Amino acid sequence: MKQSIVHVALVVKDYDEAIRFYTEKLSFTVLQDIDQPEQDKRWVLIAPPGSDGPALLLARASTPDQERQTFGCRRCRECASGSDFSMNAPAGAQLERIPTMRYMIMMNAPRGTGDWQVVNWAPEDLKAHIAFMHTFNDELKNAGELVGAEGLAPPGEARLVRAGKTGAPVVTDGPFAEAKEFLAGYWIVEVDRPERAHAIAAKASAAPGKGGVPLNMPIEVRQVMSAPPVDV
């Protein structure tokens, strides 16, 4: 598993109090605020103004021991050596590194044509589809989850390349009748749990199509694996 830091967790006692403090006093922006009633938690991401770095994930203490350790003293600088939090920050604010993983989210064109016959869509439908994709990418970028995204040329422009006897490239024109589908585009995202990658894929699947009807296309999700150990 490839691990890096996409979010930094901030343990808080009250979500609303923390949100008010960081948005009103420090001009932070709320990127996501999702209720998780089954866990008595919320998924809240905030980011400082103009930040392109990791977002802050507001989290509640998960155990009584963690809550006592975190909120037993209101003077965070004395409880957490080296803390750079303001003395006026919500009590118990602590940083925690969250391991993340990368996923490739692949949008495959159906019927092996690589074409949803967009030439037959009304102009406003095509504009709505493109606008959805732009907004979708912006949301991932603002959340600090987007690593990369690209749309690919139609299969008719694809080339299949093999090495010849001398090592020179042998190029065959596409499309290729034996293929049932073609990769139309992809995203690489960095998230802290598989369920988040699945939620991103589901939203991509629901991109508007002809007449504004969601395409509900199948989206393939595969984890990006790190290199094996040197001694393997």
- Residue spans of beta strands (DSSP E) within 52-100: 55-59, 95-97
Amino acid at 4: S
How far, in Å, CA of 160 to CA of 75, rounded?
64
Other Cβ atoms less than 10 A from the Cβ of 49: the count is: 8
Which of residues 78 and 110 earns the better pLDDT score? 110
Whether this model's pTM surpasses 0.75: no
Write the pLDDT tens digit of every residue in 2-22: 444 456 777 777 788 888 888
**Domain at 101-224, CATH class:** alpha beta
The string of pLDDT tens digits covering residues 170-221 is 998 865 655 667 788 999 999 988 999 999 999 999 999 989 999 998 899 9
What are the boundaries of each domain within the chain? 7-97, 101-224
Residue 75 has pLDDT above 60, yes or no: no
pLDDT value of residue 73? 46
Q: How confident is the model at residue 138 (pLDDT cuts 50, 70, 90)?
A: very high
Distance, CA of 177 to CA of 6 (rounded, Å) = 41
Same fold, 7-97 and 101-224: no
Note the CATH architecture for domain 7-97.
Roll (3.10)
d(CA 74, CA 78) in angstroms, rounded, equals: 9
The dihedral sign for the CA sequence 101, 8, 147, 28: positive
- HSE-up of 59 (CA within 13 Å, CB side)? 19
What's residue 48's pLDDT? 82
Q: Which residues touch 50 (CB under 8 Å, ≥6 apart)? A: none
* Per-residue pLDDT, 153: 81
Q: With residue 10 as reference, give the H or E element that holds it.
A: strand 7-11
The reported pLDDT for the residue numbered 22 is: 84
